[in-house]
Amino acid sequence: MYTIKNLSKCLMKRSYVSVLPKFRFSTQNFLIDPQFVKEYSPEKRKAPFGFNGLGELVYNRTYSRIKENGENEKWHETVERVVNGVHQMQKQWIKDHHLHWSEVKAQKSAQHMYDKIFNMKFLPPGRGLWAMGSSLTKDRKLFAALNNCAFVSTDTIENDPAGPFQFLMDASMLGVGVGFDMKGAGKIKVLKPNKTNEKVYVIPDTREGWVESVRYLIESYLKPKSPWYEFDYSQVRKAGEPIRGFGGVSSGPEPLKVLHESIQQCLEKSIDKPISVTNIVDVMNLIGRCVVAGNVRRTAEIAFGEHNSEEFINLKNYKLNPHRAAFGWTSNNSIFAEIGMDYSRAADLIQLNGEPGFAWLNNMRRYSRMDGSLSIDDKDLRVSGGNPCLEQSLESYELCCLVETFPFNHASFDEYLSTLKMAYKYAKTVTLGHTHWPQTNEVMRRNRRIGCSVSGVAQFIETRGIEELRKWLEGGYAAIKEYDQIYSEWFGVMNSRKMTSVKPSGTVSLLAGATPGVHFPESHFYIRRVRLGANSPWLLQLKNQGYPVEPAADAPNDTMVVEIPVSAGKDIRTTKEVSMWEQLRLAEFMQRHWADNQVSCTITFDPKTEGHQIKHALNYSQYHLKGISFLPRLETGAYKQMPYEEITETEYNIRNSKIKRDIQTKNSVKAHEEATPERFCDSTSCSV
């Protein structure tokens, strides 16, 4: 078994503080030594982006912010911003609580973390790459934007009828994916609005203004004695104007107007009736559609319903619910499964469209790692759901921050241990940032929940074996527990309730050239399609380098699609070569040896040969997992411009030979394009 007894020796192998005597420390803000950062500039070393240029393109499109001089960040500058942001949060916390701060130790830690992120040994979540150390956190203190995902329950809807809907909208507009449940169904009645008590609300041109308007509208139907509001949209900026700080351009007031009208139509039909499952999901999904239209390119919601609720199970049956066809896509729907239930009905539905997913709430509450022993610890008895990709068990109003490590990118276990320390410190630091939601601060202070994840699992297994992975996971988990004891004491905060997860990943793993989470690649060679705005200055460079570029089929006037040939390697098996049963066993393996939170895994299956086995597989897996979802395998070319399309090795070689990666446009670093970050879980697996 690997241990951490040699960790200190491991950390001393490389000096990160050789230039400290020449650097004058800041007494206020934290700054990593600029001379150290200069050694990582493009003139001195190449950033190790993965997947044949795909990682670099994703970085430029998604995480490269505009600097004060109008130029876009380069990778070494993004890492500098992030590392400065982390250590400034630490410094501020220590100073505010009158604890001990050492600038020398902090500088060493910062340089160590910098090297790990630059070389993609670990990466913060996409939210962190984009927001950490920016004006959002430094000036506006929007620390909620550093988190990936959240959950809110409607169970106490009678106390604050609009609260869960308001939270979901506010969090979604900050880029946080939100799960929600149906516990509030039947607890209150939909009321006829009191239009004799009318007020006018001039909606401010802010996120808060949009959210407040929705609260007022919902309260007029659900909260007794609430006034009726007429909305004035005159202050909302016009369509096409830039959204400073959050990237992209404004959609104008129209999506908000449509949301207000749609919520009214939804609730008017239920006046004098108890609020229903359909009412709750409709309003949540309508909010999700508005957020998408409001220039957040994707939304991520997960709706949790009871396994025996026909109303919930039929929500995506658009023959029964034709009104939902326009917005039902905004959430993935999962059932709270119970041990010993009959999975036949759910298994039949999965073969049609891949839903519902499964969340075993009792397992989420009673277990940490499900290591095969009688290890019930009841650590999470307050948990009531999870985030959209279901790698985190969460209480109502709780947020989660995930960091991603890449064991495959490490030469030794000792090196991986030193990476885990930095990954842990990043995630723990994010829990120090207060949000603007009191309920969230209360639960996060109590739990300090984080999620240290692993990606490239398939690559590691195929090259080094599953027993070696088991040793790294077990030793790594022990190390994280020790780190948590040390740094929780230093910060003067609670130990983290849970610390490890397996996220599905997405754009972050693309940066590092890793397979996402526990998933195997779709094919050995494939085309990865990436969408860019039609006016994106990155298009010129991509065209010059020889990447095929064409208008998007669904938005030919304003969106372009870039095709990038990718090789996952011939030595790794693909989803077509890995059975449904093996994928389930791997998810269980990670839940046993690593994740004290959860494992997010979407099982790809062949509908013809494996579909009928799903109910049997669930009977076995219900004792070893906290959540799982399934996806029927699509044939290549099933629809135009698929994100992933399998190609032959010959076609890959032809396409790859036409790409000239050494060509750079002179103005490529002055693109003047604010990155628009991937929202929510940073995953194509859980986006809709």
* Residues classed as catalytic: 389, 391
Judging by DSSP bridges, how do beta strands 357-359 and 627-632 pair with one another? Answer: antiparallel
Identify whether 537 is preceded by a cis peptide bond (ω within 30 of 0). Answer: no
Phi, psi dihedrals of residue 160, rounded to the nearest 5°: -150, 80
Positive or negative torsion for Cα 641, 643, 648, 651: positive
For residues 359, 350, 500 and 437, what is the CA-based torsion angle, rounded to 10 degrees? Answer: -60
CA angle 273, 277, 281 (to 5 degrees): 120
Alpha carbon 620 to its chain's center: 29
Nearest-CA neighbor of 129 among 392, 403, 400?
403
The token duo for 91 is 């410094």
Among residues 440, 426, 454, the alpha carbon closest in space to that of 600 is found at: 454
What does the DSSP 8-state code read for residue 20? Answer: G
User: How many C-beta atoms surround the C-beta of residue 196 within 10 A?
Assistant: 7
The closest of 212, 152, 157, 213 to 190, measured between CA atoms, is 157
The answer to whether the bond into 356 is cis (omega within 30° of 0) is: yes
Q: How many C-beta atoms lie closer than 10 Å to residue 36's C-beta? A: 20
Strands 402-405 and 451-454: parallel
Of 309, 345, 455, nearest in space to 391 by CA: 455
Beta carbons of 249 and 243 less than 8 angstroms apart: yes
- 369 DSSP 8-state letter: S
CA angle (677 as vertex; 496, 628 as ends), nearest 5? 55
Token digits of residue 399:
């947020």
Which of 50, 126, 172, 170 has its CA nearest to residue 688?
A: 172
For the chain, the first-to-last Cα distance in angstroms comes to 41
Distance (Å, rounded) from C-alpha 552 to C-alpha 559?
Answer: 5
Q: Which residue has the tokens 């959609």?
A: 251
What CA–CA distance (Å, rounded) separates 106 from 100?
A: 11
**Token duo for residue 106:** 């902090």
Q: In whole angstroms, give the CA distance from residue 501 to residue 452.
A: 6
Strands 331-336 and 357-359: parallel
Distance CA(395)–CA(498), nearest Å, equals: 13
Let me know: does 567 contact 600? Beta carbons within 8 Å: no
| CA nearest to 17, candidates 29, 28, 33, 6 | 33
Look up residue 267 and give its amino acid: L
Which among 449, 460, 466 has a CA at the least distance from the CA of 368? Answer: 449
φ, ψ for residue 419, nearest 5 deg = -70, -45
Phi, psi (rounded to 5 degrees) for 122: -145, 160
